[in-house]
Amino acid sequence: IPHDAVKAGKHEFVIETSCNGMFGVPWNGDTIAPPDMNRYFKLDTADIVVPDQKAWGLLADFSTLREIADTLPGNGSLQNKAIVVANSIMNEFDPNDKSSIDRSRKIAEEAL
């Protein structure tokens, strides 16, 4: 949220969404027909989220290690390294300690 908006106590957001019914948005029962442009959907809730880019990076690192472990032939050196490093990350990461994200990403560098 921009600093000026925080000071003002008010900020306007534009929300772009894509809405579909349970089975798409057909009208007259034809699923190939274009959508009914007069159909409206209600937004019940919206959350403002500030993503933690370091945490997303750790997720990408860990996902890559898992893919390496899952796809390489069994008991290979790189597969074993990926498993050991992923296990070390699990031992290091603490969801209540944000500094553990940096330490965990440093561990991931051993295999990536």
Q: Tens of pLDDT along the chain (112 residues)?
A: 788 888 999 888 888 887 777 666 666 666 666 777 787 888 888 888 889 999 999 999 999 999 999 999 889 999 999 999 999 999 999 999 999 999 999 999 999 9
Could you list the residue range(s) of the whole structural domain that residue 79 is in?
53-108
pLDDT of residue 71: 96
Q: In this structure, what DSSP letter does residue 33 have?
A: S
Distance CA 51, CA 28 (A): 41
pLDDT of residue 110: 94
Specify if 95 maps to a domain: yes
Task: Find the Cα–Cα–Cα–Cα dihedral 79, 104, 53, 109, rounded to 10°.
Answer: -50
Distance CA 77, CA 111 (A): 11
pLDDT of residue 23: 65
In total, how many domains does the chain have?
Answer: 1
pLDDT of residue 42: 83
Specify if 78 maps to a domain: yes
Specify if 87 maps to a domain: yes
Specify if 70 maps to a domain: yes
pTM (2 d.p.): 0.65
Specify if 73 maps to a domain: yes
